[in-house]
Amino acid sequence: MNRQPVFQSQVPAGCEMYNSPKIGQDVSAIMPNYIQSNTEPAPPTGVEYIPPVPTCTHWNEMKQERCKAPQAKKTEFCIGHLNQQAKAAKAAESKE
């Protein structure tokens, strides 16, 4: 059995990887930090991303998105929104 390098392609014979270089296209050994002109992003899968840590359920009306901070223990909100709610409750008590 011949030794094969680890970086050898695992693609079946006769197939091409997505965005693989075309015949006659220059290939660089350096991985760039930016998107090159001859590449395109992979198509979306349609699967919703679920973060590994549950995030705050507060809805921001101005940005029209949820807060992305991690939840505080045994609550649905992050520390910042819990403090905001406590401050609003304290202000409402002082008005009465």
Is the residue at 75 inside a domain? yes
Residue 86 within any structural domain of the chain: yes
- 55-90, pLDDT tens digit by residue? 898 998 888 888 989 999 989 999 999 999 999 999
Please give the residue range of the domain that contains residue 65: 59-95
27 belongs to a structural domain = no
User: pLDDT value at position 4?
Assistant: 55
Is 69 within a domain? yes
The angle formed by the CA atoms of residues 18, 52 and 78, to the nearest 5 degrees, is 135
Q: Taking the complete model, does pTM exceed 0.75, yes or no?
A: no
Tokens 């807060």 sit on residue: 67
Q: Is residue 40 within 8 Å of 28, Cβ to Cβ?
A: no
Give CA–CA dist 82/92, Å, rounded: 15
Residue 56 burial (C-beta neighbours within 10 Å; 0-12, 13-18, 19+): buried
User: Residue 93: which H helix or E strand, with range?
Assistant: helix 79-95
Number of domains in the chain: 1
